[in-house]
Copies of this chain bind each other. A is one copy, B any other.
Amino acid sequence: MVLATDTQKKLAENWFKDLRNQICAAFEDLENSQISGPNSNVPPGKFELSKTKRDGGSGGGGLMSILRGGRIFEKVGVNISTVHGTLNPMMQKSMATRKNMVGIEENPIFWASGISLVAHMNSPKMPAVHMNTRMFWTPVASWFGGGTDLNPMIEVPEETAFFHDILKAGCDKHDLKYYPKFKKWADEYFMIKHWGETRGVGGVFFDDLNSGSWINDFNFTKEIGNAFMDAFIPLCEKNLNQEWTDADREIQLIKRGRYAEFNLVYDRGTHFGLQSGHDPSAVLMSLPPIAKWP
């Protein structure tokens, strides 16, 4: 069965909305946990919602959901957006060099829909995390892309292994080549080149995914969203009652500085967002609530 493009777009957009709703509900549930430690008296956080616009609205837009100053989450943003428009000359040029994008300059329009999430936790004993997936469409090619990576402030090897195991199990349901390929891609992508270190402990990263079966690629993209929840939420629950010291917090704030460096210097999604006229407050919701460069 081959679906019409409009049907594909609608299914993808609806999935990203569904996933957003599931994640926001799960995170608000986490906020309602009974915890001990410094934040036990903080009221459970709630997401605040605001609409975002590309090019003032004429290029589509989305919904930004941010929970700030919660009991568990110091700042977590979940953006969904569906945008469309004309690729700028720089993007056209960069795409035209790809084998499957020949001719894009003749009708350089695009449509994209996706979800993007970054969570910065109160506790230095809980890892920060990023997840995003998207469908990108142009008249000459369409594809899925995305990934998720774990950013512990103080690494716990068994937690890193747990996160990767869940991702591997999800990938393996679709193609045994996916996990090794997309793990390696994440290790390369999330490199802070000037420090010669990765921003976290990796995960998976994929782009330009078009296997020839839209439905298979869509199902894999959904899998990554589901695997993210299965991999991340238990790591929060495990550490709900962990104590931390001022020294742990200092490590966290410095690590967050490096996170901001990666996003502002290297991250493609950030650059695409800032250059393509998307709402900068939505693009930059990934930045940490507070960070240090001592």
| Residue ranges of A at the interface with B (Cβ–Cβ < 8 Å) | 68, 75, 193-195, 253, 257, 260-261, 264-265, 274, 280, 283-284, 287-294
Contacts of A290 in B (CB 8 A): 253, 290-293
Whether the Cβ atoms of A194 and B288 lie closer than 8 Å is no
For A68, the chain B residues whose CB sits under 8 A away are 294
A-B complex: 3 closest residue pairs judged by Cβ atoms: A264-B264, A287-B293, A194-B280
- Beyond the given pairs A257-B287, A260-B293, A264-B265, 16 more chain A to chain B contacts, judged by CB atoms under 8 angstroms and listed by A's residue number, are A75-B294, A194-B274, A194-B280, A194-B283, A194-B284, A195-B280, A260-B264, A261-B284, A265-B274, A287-B293, A288-B293, A289-B292, A289-B293, A290-B290, A290-B292, A290-B293
In the complex, what distance in Å separates the CA atom of A278 from the CA atom of B195? 11
A280, B192: Cα distance in complex, Å: 11
What residue in chain B is nearest A262 (Cβ atoms)?
A: B264
Which of A75, A253, A261, A283 has the most B CB atoms < 10 Å from its CB?
A261
A102 to chain B, nearest CB (A): 25
Residue of B nearest to A283 (CB): B194
* A151 CB to nearest chain B CB (Å): 16
Selected A-B contacts with CB under 8 Å, 15 pairs: A193-B274, A194-B274, A194-B284, A195-B280, A261-B264, A261-B284, A264-B264, A264-B265, A265-B265, A265-B274, A287-B293, A289-B293, A290-B290, A290-B292, A291-B291
